Amino acid sequence: MALVPCQVLRAAILLSYCSILCNYKAIDMPAHQTYGGSWKFLTFIDLVIQAVFFGICVLTDLSSLLTRGNDSQEQERQLKKLISLRDWMMAVLAFPVGVFVVTMFWSIYIYDRELVYPKLLDNFIPAWLNHGMHTTVLPFVLIEMRTTHHQYPSRSCGLAAVCTFAVGYILWVCWIHHVTGVWVYPLLEHLTPGVKIVFFAAVTVIINIFYLVGEVLNNYIWDTQK
C-alpha cells in the first residue's frame, strides 16, 4: 500500500481514538471520581496506548515525507529512531495489550457481563462507545500490521517488556484494592486469594502469548510479501 493512503488511514484511526477518549472522559461516572480515576481500567490505558502509538505512526509518516529526497544524515537518524519507537510500541504494547483487552473483555462479557461490565454502565456508556473501546481496537491494529512491516525486538527483550507491563498493572490493581478495599473488576471479588494468584499468573502468560502471536503474524505477513 502506498505511503499516502496509509498516512490517511492512520490519521483517521488516530482521530477516532481521540474522539473515543474525549467522549469517554466526558462521561460523568462515579468510578471516574474514585481513587485512580480512569487510569485504574486497562481499557482506558489501552486506549491511551493506541492513541499514542498511532500518533507516532502519523508523525513517522510525516517525517518520512518531509525527509524524502533530503540527504541530511541527522534527519535520517532521527527518522530511524522514530521508526524504532513505533515498531517497539507495536510489538510490546499496541498489539498484545490491544488484543488482550478485546479477547478478555468479550470472553468474560459473554460468560457473565456483570463480572466485567455491569449492566448499570449502559446508562453511562452508549453502545458505539463500548465497541470503540472494546471492539475496533483489534481490526485497527491488524490493519496497521498488514500495511506496515514492524521490526520486532529480540524475543527475550520483548517478553521481558511485556511481563513488566503486565506485572506493573497487576500491582497497580492490588494497590488500588489496598487503598480503597474495592477491586477494580467485580470478577476479582469472587476469587479466593489463591485463585487470584493463579488468575494473575494466567493473565501474564496470556498477554505474553499474544506478544508471540503478534511476532509470528508479523513475520508471516512480511516473509510472504518478500
Range of the domain at 208: 6-224
Cβ proximity of 21 and 47 under 8 Å: yes
Per-residue model confidence as pLDDT tens digits over 21-63? 999 988 888 878 889 999 999 999 999 999 999 999 999 998 8
Residue 79 included in any domain:
yes
- Number of structural domains in the chain: 1
Q: Residue 103 has what pLDDT?
A: 96
* Contact in structure between 47 and 17 (CB atoms under 8 Å): yes
Q: What is the pLDDT of residues 85-143, one digit of tens each?
A: 999 999 999 999 999 999 999 999 999 998 888 898 888 899 999 999 999 999 999 99
> Which amino acid is present at 106?
W
Q: Computed from CA positions of residues 192, 193, 196, 197, in that sequence, does the dihedral angle turn out positive or negative?
A: negative
In a domain, 27, yes or no: yes
Which whole number is the average pLDDT over 154-167?
A: 96
Q: How far is CA 107 from CA 41, 160, 186, in A?
A: 17, 26, 15
Q: Is residue 108 part of a domain?
A: yes
CB count within 10 Å of CB 96 equals 28
Residue 148 lies in a domain: yes
Q: Which has the closest alpha carbon to 185: 197, 206, 198, 170?
A: 170
In a domain, 1, yes or no: no
On whether residue 169 sits in a domain, the answer given is yes
Between residues 195 and 69, the one the model is more confident about: 195
Say if CB 103 and CB 43 are below 8 A apart: no
85 torsion bin: left (phi>0), alpha (psi -120 to 50), beta (else): alpha
Give the span between the Cα atoms of 152 and 27, in whole angstroms: 37
Q: Write out pLDDT tens, residues 162-193.
A: 999 999 999 999 999 999 999 999 889 989 99
Q: Is residue 106 part of a domain?
A: yes
DSSP 93: I
Residue 133 covered by a domain: yes
Q: Which of 173, 218, 209, 201 is nearest to 96 (CA)?
A: 209
